[in-house]
């Protein structure tokens, strides 16, 4: 029992220290990147390559932040890590026989991608909630969106808008247009099937919807006005 208590205490200290450090220090990698690399090694394919380039938020086009907020989590500036309205809506639709859809916020996605393993077990969801609360307490919203824009996967092995903008658009992330940013945000639900360099009719329609949402939210200055 004493050993268990010490283990729990050490785990709490280690996780809190990690989150505190990452408020200022750019992550060298993420749990998701590590898992993808391990899976590639175990498969023996030898074709997988991680492309990841950290870019500070002030060197990323303002359209990138508002595009992912418009696409993924429009309540991001207001909530404390969990969008209760979206969760309730998803559960209500599920009770009527519809497929249970995810209602993860940007904060939850940062917690999951940066620290955890994939899966839907209650244990993993519990850790996700724990890290989400830590992140929301310790990091300002600008840091959360900065980390998200840098670790989100936009294509197979392509992590962050820094790598994505150079690979797909041949330009630095500071030069992303509203159309570029919306297209990148449009692939986020499934970067394995959706490709920014080969946009389908569906992907272009989603991109145009995101552009409309960007204007409704107030454009690239929306996120700044919420801080």
Name 216's Cβ contacts closer than 8 Å, sequence gap at least 6. none
CA dihedral 111, 113, 118, 121 (to 10 degrees): 10
If we measure between CA atoms, which residue out of 147, 19, 27 comes closest to residue 76?
147
Label residue 91 by pLDDT band (50, 70, 90).
low
CB count in 10 Å sphere of residue 35: 14
Q: How far is CA 115 from the centre of its chain?
A: 12
Position 89 scores a pLDDT of: 61
If we measure between CA atoms, which residue out of 42, 23, 26 comes closest to residue 34?
42
Topology at the third CATH level for domain 26-220:
Penicillin binding protein transpeptidase fold (1.10.3810)
- Least confident range from 119-128, 133-142, 174-183: namely 119-128
pLDDT tens-digit series, residues 166-208: 999 999 999 999 999 999 999 999 998 999 999 999 999 999 9
Distances from the Cα of 106 to the Cα of 73, 130, 157, 177, 199, angstroms: 6, 15, 20, 22, 24
If we measure between CA atoms, which residue out of 80, 83, 84 comes closest to residue 134?
80
**Mean pLDDT for the stretch of residues 212-220:** 90
User: 161 vs 85, which has greater pLDDT?
Assistant: 161
Position 94 scores a pLDDT of: 45
Mean pLDDT (the chain, rounded):
88
Q: Please report, rounded to a whole number, the percentage of residues in the chain having pLDDT higher than 70.
A: 89
Label residue 131 by pLDDT band (50, 70, 90).
very high
- Least confident range from 67-71, 84-88, 210-214: namely 84-88
């Amino acid at each position: 029992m004493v050993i268990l208590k010490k283990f729990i205490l050490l785990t709490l200290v280690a996780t809190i220290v990690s989150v505190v450090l990452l408020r200022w220090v750019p992550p060298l990698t993420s749990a998701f990147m590590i898992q993808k690399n391990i899976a590639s090694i175990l498969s023996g394919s030898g074709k997988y390559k991680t492309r990841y380039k950290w870019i500070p938020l002030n060197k990323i086009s303002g359209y990138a932040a508002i595009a992912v907020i418009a696409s993924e989590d429009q309540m991001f500036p207001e909530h404390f890590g969990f969008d209760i309205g979206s969760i309730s809506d998803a559960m209500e639709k599920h009770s009527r026989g519809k497929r249970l859809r995810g209602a993860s916020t940007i904060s939850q996605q940062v917690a999951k991608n940066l620290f955890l393993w994939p899966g839907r077990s209650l244990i993993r969801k519990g850790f996700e909630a724990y890290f989400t609360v830590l992140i929301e307490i310790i990091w300002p919203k600008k840091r959360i969106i900065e980390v998200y824009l840098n670790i989100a996967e936009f294509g197979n092995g392509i992590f962050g808008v820094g790598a994505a903008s150079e690979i797909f658009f041949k330009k630095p992330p500071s030069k992303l247009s509203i159309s570029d940013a919306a297209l990148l945000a449009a692939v986020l639900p499934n970067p394995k099937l959706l490709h920014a360099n080969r946009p389908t009719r569906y992907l272009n329609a989603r991109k145009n919807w995101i552009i409309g949402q960007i204007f409704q939210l107030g454009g690239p200055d929306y996120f700044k006005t919420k801080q």
